[in-house]
Each structure stands twice: as structure tokens, then as C-alpha cells.
Amino acid sequence: MLSKKQARTFFLVGSLVTFFIFIGLTVFSLSKAQDQSHSDKITESVARGKHLWEKNNCMGCHTIMGEGAYYAPELTNVVERRGEIYVKTVLKSKTPWAPRGRKMVAYGFTDEQANDIIAFFKWISDINLNGFEKVDRAVSPLAKDKMKN
């Protein structure tokens, strides 16, 4: 059994050690060597594409890097999965279409806007996700588990 003084010392030393470990790991994770976002490769086109992504609330239906809604397909690696021509055609379409029963809004983007969104998608697909699985379809993890069984 620890005395009151020993318990206090143990608590203080343990708290300080934990605090310094936390600070050390924070500094390490924020260091330039650990930056995997390749933010130095953000071009004007990528920035405009991200702006269009946000302005049109694409995340209301789609996911990107696992974030967003599960109504429509995951778009993290859509250009390598579907091809640039397919993606551009979908973005420029002036009529709504419904693949697999899910209605896609017809945004009718211009050629330049479609190229900007594709540049954003390409930039996103180059981010190092540390082995995180890039999902090919808009299926929640729970639904995937049920499909396996």
C-alpha cells in the first residue's frame, strides 16, 4: 500500500511523463517529414475543383476518403477506377440520370469546371492513406460485413 505522499508523487510523475509523451508525439506527427497530404501539389485547378465540390454539396451524397454520405459512390479514386472521360461526361451531363436507381443531379458543368473537379479528384487519390482501403462502392462497412456472411 502506498502512503499518501508516495501516491501523490506517483500521480504527479505519471502525469508529467504522459504529458511529455503526448507533446513529443504531437510534435512528431505535425513535423514536415510526417506530412502526407502533398499540399505543395495544390494547383489553382485543384482549389477550384474543391470549391465546386463544396459549393454543390457533393458530400451530401458521395464520400471522399471515407467522409460524407453513403448514398452515392465513394469518389476517392474515381478517376483511376472509371477513367477521366467517364467522369467528365457525368459532370458535364445536362440531363439527370439514375445508375442503379440512385438519381444523379445534372449539374451541366462546363469543360473547365469538369477539368477542375477531375484535378481535385486526382489530387485526392494521390494522398497517402497509410493503407486505408479505398472503397469502390457506396456501401457502409456494416453492409459489407452482411454481404460476406
pLDDT in tens, 81-134: 889 999 999 999 888 877 777 788 888 999 999 999 999 999 988 877 766 655
Q: How would you class 33 by CB atoms within 10 Å of its CB: exposed for 0-12, middle for 13-18, buried for 19 or more?
A: exposed
* Residue found by looking up cell 452515392 in the block: 72
Sign of CA dihedral 127, 106, 137, 64: positive
Question: Where residue 20 falls among pLDDT bands split at 50, 70, 90?
Answer: very high
Which one is predicted more confidently, 139 or 110? 110
CATH class entry, domain 37-148: mainly alpha
Length of the chain: 149
- Give first-to-last CA distance, the chain, whole Å: 51
Determine the pLDDT at residue 24.
94
Question: Where residue 76 falls among pLDDT bands split at 50, 70, 90?
Answer: confident
* Residue found by looking up cell 454481404 in the block: 147
pTM score, two decimals? 0.68
